[in-house]
Amino acid sequence: MARKDAILSMRQILIKRRDALRTALAGDLSLLKELRAQTAGDVVDAALDSAQDEISSQLAEVESRELASIENALVRMKEGHFGVCEACSGTIPMARLNALPYATLCIECQREAERYGSTSSSDADWGRVLDNSGDADVSINDIELDVS
């Protein structure tokens, strides 16, 4: 299958998925409204309500995030940027797009992003902090050099 056809068929799948998510989100939101409208006097009922409320809102959050990814992918398809790496403008292999339709980076750039990404940035900062405090080591070495 040509790459363009593969993207077109993926577009159909994404549109169906988007519509399904929109329906689910509309359902979830109405459910949330119902839960909030209930004024349960019982403490247990209230706890159950808030627990369910939490689950529903978390679900809605995940779904709306995926919906945003789909919308983004569809816009990129429309503009002809779909399957093009945002970082290096390289072509993202169709195999990667099939596995991860919302991918906006090629595997190499994804690895780079993960290496310098937000998940490991705190570790890197700590490393830098430790490096800066290495002045003490330098002075110790100086002392040792003076002794010898």
To the nearest whole angstrom, how small is the minimum distance from the Cβ of residue 88 to Zn ion? Answer: 3
Q: Is residue 62 close enough to count as binding Zn ion by CB under 5 A? A: no
Segment contacting Zn ion (CB under 5 A): 12-20, 60-68, 106-114, 136-144?
Answer: 106-114
Q: Is residue 13 close enough to count as binding Zn ion by CB under 5 A? A: no
Q: Is residue 100 close enough to count as binding Zn ion by CB under 5 A? A: no
Q: How many CA atoms lie within 13 A of 1 on its CB side?
A: 11
Segment contacting Zn ion (CB under 5 A): 10-18, 54-62, 79-87, 125-133?
Answer: 79-87
Q: Is 33 helix (H, G, I), strand (E, B) or coil?
A: helix
Output the six-digit token pair for 115: 């290496």
Instruction: State which residue, 85 or 97, has the beta carbon closest to Zn ion.
Output: 85
Q: Is residue 21 close enough to count as binding Zn ion by CB under 5 A? A: no
67, 25 in Cβ contact below 8 A?
Answer: yes
Instruction: State which residue, 59 or 113, has the beta carbon closest to Zn ion.
Output: 113
Output the six-digit token pair for 77: 């398809």
**How far is 44 from 56, CA to CA, in rounded Å?**
18
Instruction: State which residue, 70 or 104, has the beta carbon closest to Zn ion.
Output: 104
To the nearest whole angstrom, how small is the minimum distance from the Cβ of residue 31 to Zn ion? Answer: 41
CA of 96: how far to CAs of 78, 83, 102, 139, 140, in Å? 20, 9, 10, 52, 52
- Pick the closest to residue 58 from 81, 28, 36, 79 (CA basis): 28
Q: Is residue 109 close enough to count as binding Zn ion by CB under 5 A? A: yes
Where does this chain bind Zn ion (CB under 5 A)? 85, 87-88, 90, 106, 109
